[in-house]
Amino acid sequence: EAQVTQNPRYLITVTGKKLTVTCSQNMNHEYMSWYRQDPGLGLRQIYYSMNVEVTDKGDVPEGYKVSRKEKRNFPLILESPSPNQTSLYFCASQGTGWETQYFGPGTRLLVL
Amino acid sequence: SQKIEQNSEALNIQEGKTATLTCNYTNYSPAYLQWYRQDPGRGPVFLLLIRENEKEKRKERLKVTFDTTLKQSLFHITASQPADSATYLCALGEVDMRFGAGTRLTVKP
């Protein structure tokens, strides 16, 4: 079954405590992305990756890091989380045909 | 700057009617436009992709049109059902994708 998985699904943390949200896809897709979704602001892209070791900034990259060392994994790293990073985060993957983009189930993050 | 606007935040219609959602964009020349469905607390689900050289695309009760002159896409759900109630998002771009804010559709029995 085509799948994008994210972990954890829910996370409460405190300001400044580094965290990583993992993302994995089983479709051998080249393209992967991270989005955040906030009420009134919609889905905004944080980072995307076109292949292993190739990443680029989306619209809201400040305060986030990513890495793509393997094709299937694309972790999102918050080195020093702040309360304004409280949000719902989605990972997504897409093949080279620009067809279906698959989204993960989301990670709800609360930074106190 | 690039902008994507969906016609309204919310749309209420009666079961059996056709729902029409609008997506307008500025400062884009997209090769593709996509529509997604999102249920509360869940990830968006891809519905349809339409290319710039396609005027219309259909999938079951769904129909999408794409007018690159007007810079507009229309998304239609015919014979709507309460199960179609969700937020519908349009998206432009390829890997560097941008989404509209969405239209929340409610279909009443």
Tokens 């309360």 belong to which residue?
Answer: A83
Closest C-alpha to B32, from B104, B101, B90, B105: B90
Query: Are A49 and A66 in contact, with CB atoms under 8 Å apart?
Result: yes
**Segment B10-29, tens digit of pLDDT:** 999 999 999 999 999 998 88
- The dihedral over CA atoms of A97, B47, B43, B96, expressed in degrees to the nearest 10, equals 40
Q: Is A102 on the interface with B (CB under 8 A)?
A: yes
Q: Which of B42, B95, B101 sits opposite A33 (nearest CB)?
A: B95
**What one-character DSSP code corresponds to residue A100?**
P
Cβ separation of B43 and A98 shorter than 8 Å? Answer: no
**Segment A32-53, tens digit of pLDDT:** 999 999 988 889 999 999 999 9
Closest residue, chain A, to B99 (C-alpha): A43
Tell me: pLDDT of B94 over 90.
no
Q: Which residues of B touch A4 (CB under 8 A)?
A: 43
Q: For chain A, what is the radius of gyration of the CA atoms?
A: 13
Mean pLDDT of A52-66: 95
Average pLDDT of chain A to the nearest whole number: 94
Query: Are A69 and A55 in contact, with CB atoms under 8 Å apart?
Result: no
CA distances to A32, A69, B76 from A85, in Å = 20, 25, 35
For residues A101 and B7, the model is more confident at: A101
